[in-house]
């Protein structure tokens, strides 16, 4: 196990955890709004786009680390 693989794995674990936490908060907010008879969460796409961008960048970063660091 090389330092690069540990670093890449750590980045993916942190990014994955962040996306799951964000998704949980968004799910709860949407469920609360639907129970109240309103739906405002879907008006903004900044959060989901940011989450997708963070996940994509972290995947590309781990790929780069895997290619550049000796195994």
pLDDT at 43 over 80: no
Mind listing the pLDDT tens digit for each residue in 11-25?
A: 999 999 999 999 999
Going by pLDDT thresholds of 50, 70 and 90, the confidence category of residue 4 is confident
Tokens for 18, please give them: 């962040």
Hey, what's the torsion of the CAs at 19, 20, 24, 30, to 10 degrees? 50
Q: Does residue 47 carry a pLDDT above 70?
A: yes
Global pTM reads: 0.77
Give dist(CA 5, CA 11) in Å, integer. Answer: 10
Residues ≥6 apart with Cβ < 8 Å to 30 = 39, 41, 42
């Amino acid at each position: 196990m090389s330092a690069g693989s540990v670093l890449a794995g750590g980045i993916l674990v942190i990014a994955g955890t962040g996306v799951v936490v964000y998704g949980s908060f968004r799910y709860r907010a949407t469920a609360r709004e639907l129970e109240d008879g309103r739906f405002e969460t879907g008006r903004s796409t900044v959060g989901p786009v940011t989450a997708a961008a963070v996940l994509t960048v972290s995947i590309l970063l781990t790929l780069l680390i895997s290619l550049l660091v000796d195994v």
